[in-house]
Amino acid sequence: MFNLTNVLRPYAWGSPTAISTLLGRTPSGGPEAELWLGAHPDSPSLATAPDGSTKSLDALIADDPDGMLGADARTEFGDRLPFLAKILAASQPLSLQVHPTLAQAKDAFAREEAAGIPRAAADRNYKDDNHKPELILALTNFDALCGFRPATQSRAVFKHLSDLFEQVEEAFPQLLRDVISDLSAAEGSEADESAAIRAAFQRLITGGNEVTDAVSAVVTALNASRAAQPTHTAYLRELSTVISLNGIYPGDPGVLLSLLLNRVSLKPGEAIYLPAGNIHAYLQGLGVEVMASSDNVLRGGLTPKHVDVPELMKTVEFRALPVPRITAGSTELGQEIWQPPFREFQLQRAILEPDRPPIPLAQNGPLLVLAVTGSVILDSPRGDLVLAHGDSAFVPARESPVNAHPVSGASGAAVVYAVTVPAPAPN
């Protein structure tokens, strides 16, 4: 087993204290957005062996892929760790974004490589050839935008805006009248609804200065309406989100695009999963995020970074879907396992009570373990490893099975999160 030293990403939207507080560390003094645990070549964890030697986790796996990953994981995913785990701490919204399918990622990555676009270039879309289905488990109250709501619901929100403009005696922008018309074309069939959502989305993301002016007009009207009717509550969350997003990204198309999307609030312990094509944005909160090992992101707004509208339009799935919530299943020993409909990963939480028997961690090949409360002892056939609060480890496939023990005499429960691949698919 290997202790890990993980890379902290200081994106501007990150909380300055949430990750350090969770892991019992001294804050860096700047934004701490994501702590990466894994072997993605952009930011691989540093693995420390029992003898004190160190090597990046991707290099460690490359040296012994069968021992590190196991035969089943190698057969299904090749010679790379199939998942990437993160602690994500957003104090401001992330970009409105979507992730490609595996086929799209492979084709587009090869196309950009052949074109000679540097991987670090600002206008590069695909950093690798993998897809990025993901899951986010809330550790605090967590807010997000996630997937398209039904067109009739979106139309009702924009129609409500029209009524507010009338109440404050302001002219309703023609652009938004056109959006209402686009959404009115959803006549019941799934194809009609998808076409209506696509038309409204495309109008807003390509509207240029007309969108900027419409955002400004909407925020002005909302503020005037609030002043006149401070107890008004219709679509309060959606319209409050418009105002808050505009405060950070004034005039951005994503401000109005948010009204096409499901507005989601998660409580600690609740989770959603995000397949390819699901357009989303995390707004605020702390969570454990797990994904296929990729950094491929197509952005659609709420960002100063590159937005490639044609590529985005090819990647977004323009369908109204329920919020993809996922609940954990419990094992006989009490662990909770979140298993989204992806083959690359599953997430486990184990709560280790003092002076209670050890818990065997679910492990199907490679395993990442992070202690977020208290200290634990990992016990494998090859030895033991103590993880203090905030420590993490990589457990090779060859060291299965692993038991997690509470430290003797501990005053409270320890909590660990563990990521592995699901059991092999049945033949």
What Rg value do the Cα atoms of the chain yield, rounded? 23
Rounded Cα–Cα distance for residues 347 and 64 (Å):
24
Rounded Cα–Cα distance for residues 246 and 296 (Å):
26
**Among 80, 155, 203, 299, the one annotated catalytic:** 299
Look at residues 86, 84, 89 and name the one whose alpha carbon lies nearest to residue 19. Answer: 89
Rounded Cα–Cα distance for residues 30 and 8 (Å):
11
Rounded Cα–Cα distance for residues 47 and 3 (Å):
6
Rounded Cα–Cα distance for residues 221 and 164 (Å):
7
As a whole number of Å, the end-to-end CA separation of the chain is: 31
299 catalytic per annotation: yes
Say if CB 256 and CB 231 are below 8 A apart. no
Q: Strands 46-48 and 134-138: what pairing?
A: unpaired
Contacts of 133 (CB under 8 A, 6+ apart): 99, 273, 274, 275, 276, 291, 292, 340, 342, 344
The CA-based dihedral angle spanning residues 104, 109, 114, 118, taken in that order and rounded to the nearest 10 degrees? 150
Helices within 79-208 (DSSP H only): 102-114, 151-167, 174-184, 190-205
Helices within 264-380 (DSSP H only): 309-315
Tokens linked to 393: 């480890």
- Active-site annotation, residues: 299
